[in-house]
Each structure stands twice: as C-alpha cells, then as structure tokens.
Structure 1
Amino acid sequence: MSSDHTPFTEHRIPRVEGSVYTRDYAGTGPTFVLMHGFPDNQHIWDDLIPHLVASGRRVVTFDFLGFGASDKPAGAAYSFKQQLGDLEAVVEGLGLGKIVPVAHDSSGMATLNYVLTHPDAVDSAIMLNSAYSEDSTFFWPEMITLFATRNIQPLAMAIAQSPEQFGWLLRWQQKKFLDALPEAQKRHFSAFIGSLISNNFIVQPGAGPAFVQLAAEFFDEHARNAKHLAALKALDIPVKLIWGQYDPYFPAAMAERRQSQLKNASLTLIPAGHWLQADEPAQVAKAMLS
C-alpha cells in the first residue's frame, strides 16, 4: 500500500529561497498536514496516507526546503524558524484554514511552535516520536549529537565533506534504529526507510547541507523552546501523542514528559520503532482518526 497510487495534486509553494514541494490529497477537513524530520523527507508517510485518505480526510504532505523534492539552493540558510515559515507558507498557499499539524522527529519544533503562534488556526495536533524541548537526560542519535556539539563541529564538518565517511556514519546510525526493532519489522525498515534516508543524502543535490545546519542548531532550539513551555501548558488545544515504543532514542518516557507539559494530551503507545508510521501504519491511522 503506497501513497504513490493514491491520487494527489502537486503544488510548489514559493519561499524567499526557492519553493516547497507539496502533495495535496483531496478530502474533508480539518486537514492533516504531515511533516518529516531531518534525516528523511515526506515519503516517510507513504504507507500511512492511503489509510487516512480512505477515511475521507484531506491530507497534505510537503518537503521542507533543502529536503526531498523541494528546492535546495546553493548557500541557503536552513533553520527551525525557516521550517516554521515553510509550514505557514503551505497552509496559507493552499488556503487550508484550520489544520491538524502532524509531527515526526525534528518537526516537533515546527508543530508546537505553529500551535503557539496560530492557536486559532489549529483544530488539534499530533506528535509521533518527535522532539520539542527535552532535558539532558535524553540521549540523542549519535549522528545528531556529533553535529550539534559545538566544540566538535569542525570534526563533524570534515566528516560531512567526505561522502565515504558520511555514508559510513549514516549506515552505522541506521543500524542502531534497525537493531531496536522486532524481527518482523526489520525487512521493511531496511527496504523502505533505510533506502529512503540514504537516497535523501546520496542523490544530488542532497539534503546534507540542510541536515548539517539544522543539527548544529538542535540543542539551541531545545533551549529556545524551553522558554515557551508555560505558554504551551496554558493552551487547551488537544494533542495526541502516538509513540513507537521500540525507539532507542525517543523513548516512551519522552512522550510521558511531553504529556505532562501539555494541558490536554493523550498518549497511545504502538509496538513499533522510530518510524512507526511505516512499521505499523494501520495502527497509527486508527489512533490518528479515533
């Protein structure tokens, strides 16, 4: 089951530095706006979309600038603020009105900051294994930590300049996610998510520059978001936390902590890994639509 066989309309949403590639699947609102993290692109949702569309809901996916089929202008500046702007541009460009932003991985930043900035334009929000403002008790993927730690950034940048070394690092990091999965889910992960991430970086122009810049800002963004936690707690907007319990870096404890930071949040644990929308799409769709 793949979203490539589900009819959609393509759009290019203009931004200051290039355009954002968007897919719009017809249905009724409020629209699910699905976002990706920084090692991948919108295709992480391909297995889930048919389930959502079959329910009659409108679904929009897009690649953040620097990723997937969106523009990757040479010398572009990528940031979490820019990603929030990409989301705002997509919502405005397609005239979506009230939305349900759906986060995965690092797009938790854009999702909750959109909720804070546009509370009247959000019906509810959904977060799948995603970050926003975590404390130092959480252990991030080593590849992220390497690029996010200031005093070793010169080493990280040197690795990024070598396709061979960067490729080795990418494969090593993927294996950490793969090893945490049940045997039944490993083959699909390797064939689908593993190759999707590799192609995201290897096929040129690749997502390397965007990844490197966002990873370098990752810890700073957590600190900035910590200043918004009181305002977040005051918002009564429903948030569904749908979490893959076999994620070695975004554990259930992270979801429980997020739930405590929100006024109106529910938590559903799924027997899946970090990319739970690919591991168990039917279960994720059921939780999203319930």
Structure 2
Amino acid sequence: MDRKPSFTEHFIPREQGRVYAREYKGAGPAFVLMHGFPDNLHIYDDLIPYLAAAGRRVVVFDFLGFGASDKLPGAVYSFPQQLGDLEAVAEALDLDRCIPVAHDSSGLAAINFTLAHPERVEALHILNSGYDDAFPILWPEMVTLFATKSLNALSGAIAQSPAQFGWLLGWQKNLFRYALPESQQAHFDEGVGALIADNFIQAPSSGPAFVQLASQFFEELARNTQRLPELKALDIPVKVIWGEFDPYITADVARDRASHFSHASLRLLPAGHWLQSDMPEEVAKEMLS
C-alpha cells in the first residue's frame, strides 16, 4: 500500500480567504473528510492511504483559520461560515454525490450540510463529534472555558498569553492521551499530539479561529437540538463509527447520535477521540464496507 498517495491541491476562494483542499483521485462518491477545533486535515494522514488503496475518491480540506487555509487578520469565524466552506468545496470540486465524514466540531457542518443538500449526499459518516446538547456531554475543559460567557474575562486573558494558552493546551491534550491504551499513546504523541501543538504554536496560529468558534459553541448546539426531529426524515444511510476510549464524547453519545437517524448503524472501536489515527485500517474497513 502506498503510504503517501498522490493528490491534487486546490485553493478555493471564499469571502475571507482561500480554503485549502487535497483531492485523491478515485472512483465512487468522494469521502469528504473534515477536522475539528484543535487540529487540521492531517488528522487523516493515517486513514487516507487505506481509502486510496481501495480505489476511492477522497477529498480533505482545512476550514478557514486552520491548517493551510487562509488566516486573514480580522477574519470572522462561525459555524455557518464552516458550512459555507464545505459547500464551496463541494461546488468547486463538482461533488454531485459525496459522503461527508465528520469528526469533532465538524459534526455540525457535516450534519447540517446533509440536511440542506440531501440530494448530494450518498451517505453520512460520523466519527467522534458533537452536534446537539440533548444528551448530557462533558465537553473538554478547554472548550468549556472558552464557550462559557461568564468566564470570558478569564479565557480572554489566557488567549492573550502564549505561555498560559500553551500550558492549557498541553494539559488538555494529555487528558485525551491518558485515556488511550498504552499501546496507542506513543503514536498519539508523534502524530495527533504534535499536530495539535503545531496548529496553535506555528504562525499564523489557529488560535483566533478556535477562540471565536468555541465562544459560539453552546449556542450552536442549542440551535441544532431544535433540528433533531429533521434527522429522522433523512432517507440516507448513516454510519456512526466511534472510539470508545474518548473520555468526553463517549460511547453513550454515539448511541444517542445514532438513535436520531432512521437508517443508522453503530460501530464502536477500541480507540480514542482520534480513532482515524489510532486505528486507521479498522476505520477504513468500516467506511468501505
């Protein structure tokens, strides 16, 4: 298997800059892989070779403010903007039929894209991610801090201090790491763990995008909770593929998420929050089956 399959780069214009995307040629409806709050498209580096080896078309991109997409001074980030990023990628790459793949905070864009454009969605795949607040979830402390309005003064001060922000980021990252089986911890350190740190430390940083999106997170979850009845009406197969060692968005959340769709399957894997990195071959098998 080619561990580094070739891809074509795309820079897709938006109102506040360009969205960076990679396209891996192949057959069938494209898997459109999306990242969440603390990371970027490289969380799929371990998974893509398996999908490409199966001959499937794959598209992966960075939301504005993250990874290799533009981070313009004064840019305004929001969840509607992220949905717009996904729509722009689908339009630019002629994705008439696709399979959105959600992870972490991109669950909001993936599910709302499916609701808005069911005719363009072949299937929906949901990895460990958020969407609503109907089921009790202990969100990561760093997200909760920046999402809680009454703590804005504290979170704002931390965001202005690279040392404090860096310490908080490292502390939060370790809580995800400690929940993993020991056999997966070294790979986490070398892959996702390093990626998260680079995403915030390297200039230009993804910090502004994270801070803005986190501040809107709870309100967006509440809005999506009102849309849950719409999910039952979707006549689309949904695969919920979940790492059961996620210390926050747990297996109970996965069961609740699957329950809101009429045509959903659920598969739990012995992996953590970033299951596509912890167990890429097994995740690929589930996606391709």
Return the offset for 1:134.
2.4
Aligned to 1:198: 197
Cα distance in 2 for residues equivalent to 1:229 and 1:236: 14
Root-mean-square deviation (Å)? 1.0
SS in 2 for 1:144: helix
SS in 1 for 2:102: strand
Return the offset for 1:136.
6.2
Deviation per residue, 1:235-254 (Å, 9 max, x gap): 12111000000000010000
The number of residue pairs the alignment matches comes to 289
Aligned to 2:269: 270
Identical columns (%): 62
Aligned to 2:285: 286
Cα distance in 2 for residues equivalent to 1:121 and 1:91: 9
TM-score, normalising length from structure 1? 0.98
Aligned ranges 1:36-55 → 2 under 5 Å: 36-55=35-54
Cα distance in 1 for residues equivalent to 2:226 and 2:120: 22
Q: Is the Cα–Cα contact under 8 Å of residues 135 and 253 in structure 2 kept in the other structure?
A: no
Question: Which segments of 5 or more consecutive residues in structure 2 lack a partner in the other structure?
Answer: none
TM-score, normalising length from structure 2? 0.98
Deviation per residue, 1:166-195 (Å, 9 max, x gap): 000000000100000000000000111111
Cα distance in 2 for residues equivalent to 1:211 and 1:199: 14
Aligned to 1:129: 128
2:229 partner amino acid: A
Return the offset for 1:138.
1.1
Cα pair distance change 1:2/1:188, threshold 3 Å = farther
Aligned ranges 1:22-41 → 2 under 5 Å: 22-41=21-40
Aligned to 2:242: 243
Aligned to 1:61: 60
Cα pair distance change 1:169/1:128, threshold 3 Å = same
SS in 1 for 2:60: strand
Deviation per residue, 1:113-133 (Å, 9 max, x gap): 000000100000000001101
Aligned to 2:69: 70
1:246 partner amino acid: F
Cα distance in 1 for residues equivalent to 2:261 and 2:152: 34
Question: Which segments of 5 or more consecutive residues in structure 1 lack a partner in the other structure?
Answer: none
SS in 2 for 1:225: helix
Cα distance in 1 for residues equivalent to 2:255 and 2:129: 12
Aligned to 2:188: 189
Aligned to 1:116: 115
